[in-house]
Amino acid sequence: MEFVKKKVVLACPQTFMNNSGLAVKSLVENYKVDINDLMVIHDDLDLDVGRMKIAYDGGSGGHRGIKSAILHLGSCSFTRIKIGIGRPKHGEVIEDFVLNPFYSDQEKIIKEVLNVVTEAVEAFILNGVEAAMNNFNSIIMKREVE
């Protein structure tokens, strides 16, 4: 394997999720990141636990953090990795559900998904978004019995 030298910035915004676009815009401006090289990793209620999806260009899908990023960047032309968190099982309010820890029977599968996400980020960095999408969008982690 050939060694590839690339600069990578990993950031975890400390803003409220609804304002995360401020942090993303600041990162893009301060590090002079080409928006095509930007990847945002976020949760997705519409994907089941055990799923992840790489997407490029598109709307927010109702995700307020992505909506904020699109608003502050003035563009939706960036890559995202959506990590499925599924929907509440016990009738919780969505806002409470997304802010609380995962259900105990989902913890193992989430750890597995995060390992795959790490590989997908590496593939994006080394080979670009199309290669990452082709290699990772079909992966589904095995679910625990619910």
- Over residues 85-141, the pLDDT tens digits come to 999 999 899 989 988 999 999 999 999 999 999 999 999 999 999 999 999 997 766
Domain ranges of the chain: 17-136
Give the C-alpha separation, 3 to 122, whole Å: 13
Q: Nearest Cα to 112, choosing from 146, 83, 132, 79?
A: 83
pLDDT of residue 63: 92
* Region of 63 on the Ramachandran plot (φ > 0 left; ψ -120 to 50 alpha; else beta): beta
Strands 39-44 and 79-84 turn out to be parallel
Per-residue confidence at 80, pLDDT binned at 50, 70, 90? Answer: very high
**Could you tell me the fold of the domain covering 17-136?**
Rossmann fold (3.40.50)
What does the mean pLDDT of the chain come to?
90
Q: Are 39 and 128 in contact (CB under 8 A)?
A: no
Q: Nearest Cα to 121, choosing from 83, 81, 93, 92?
A: 81
Phi and psi (nearest 5°) for 52?
-140, 155
Amino acid at 91: G
Give the C-alpha separation, 88 to 98, whole Å: 9
The CA R_g of the chain, rounded to the nearest whole Å, is 16
